[in-house]
Amino acid sequence: MLQPKATGRFAAARKYDLLTAMGAYALGQGKGPQQLTLRLMTLVTARYNWSRNELAVGQREIARLWNVNERTVKREMAKLRGMGWIRLKRAAVRGRVAEYGLEIDQILQDTRDHWRAVGPDFELRMGHEPTETVVPLPVKGQVTAPDCSDGTEWSLAKAVLHSEDPALYAAWGQALSRDGRAGGRLTLRAPSRFHAAWVEQHLKDRLTRICRQIDPDVSEVVILV
């Protein structure tokens, strides 16, 4: 299996193998996932530090590279975090951009069904014999990731929470539903008073922070029953 850090004698081949796996996966997807994967591939090719597993680049620079606005960058990066393909290693602060790392194991897990399209040599090189029977890799946290296809700030926030802490998401975040949005106020509904009280006390600040990373216009998250 491809190593998380592509360094050493065969580093160049490992880099191309990962990009090939991502490209084969993208070509088998619909327009949205295909575009998202292409954007990540372009960003990785242009700015990723393979030896340090570091992607440190500002949103303005990413927006220019992708030919989109910074709001789109926030949403696309949140989708990639929700998929488990990238993780936030260091949050952005004044004078310093955010730093991300690639979750190569998760990328390989999600793309492996498309390796055979490249060829049996590629399957073998990536660590699997080219057969129809392949033992599935374990699912991260054994918790199903939320559907974020509607693109709302809450769907993307749930995906990010799932990628950061699947158990916390399953216990408390999954049951919260989006009730509405009025300006910067995002209203969520909990299934019970106890659930709402726990989220209010222990999780609300984290949810607010995640939502703001996705949509800076979110100023408040309100939990209702």
What would the pLDDT profile of 37-92 be if each residue is shown by its tens digit? Answer: 999 999 999 999 988 889 999 999 999 999 999 999 999 999 999 999 999 998 88
Whether the CA torsion 216, 217, 218, 219 is positive or negative: it is positive
Contact status, residue 218 vs residue 211, Cβ threshold 8 Å: yes
- Average pLDDT score over residue span 184-200: 93
Burial (CB count <10 Å: 0-12, 13-18, 19+), residue 89: middle
Res. 218: pLDDT tops 50? yes
Exposure string over 41-60, b if 16+ CB within 10 A, otherwise e: bebbeeebebeebbbbbebe
Res. 14: pLDDT tops 90? no
Distance CA 147, CA 145 (A): 7
- Average pLDDT score over residue span 128-148: 56
Q: Which pLDDT band, with edges at 50, 70 and 90, does 126 fall under?
A: confident
Q: What six digits make up the tokens of 73?
A: 């960058």
> What pLDDT is stored for residue 51 in this prediction?
85
Question: What pTM did the predictor assign?
Answer: 0.72
> What pLDDT is stored for residue 129 in this prediction?
43
Among the residue ranges 16-20, 74-78, 94-98, 111-115, the one predicted with the least confidence is 94-98
Mean pLDDT of the chain: 86
Domains of the chain listed by start with CATH number: 11-137 (1.10.10.10), 142-224 (3.30.300.180)
Distance CA 112, CA 136 (A): 10
Residues 6+ apart with CB under 8 A from 62: 43, 73, 77
> What pLDDT is stored for residue 85 in this prediction?
95
- Average pLDDT score over residue span 16-26: 94
Strands 185-189 and 177-182: antiparallel
- Average pLDDT score over residue span 22-38: 95
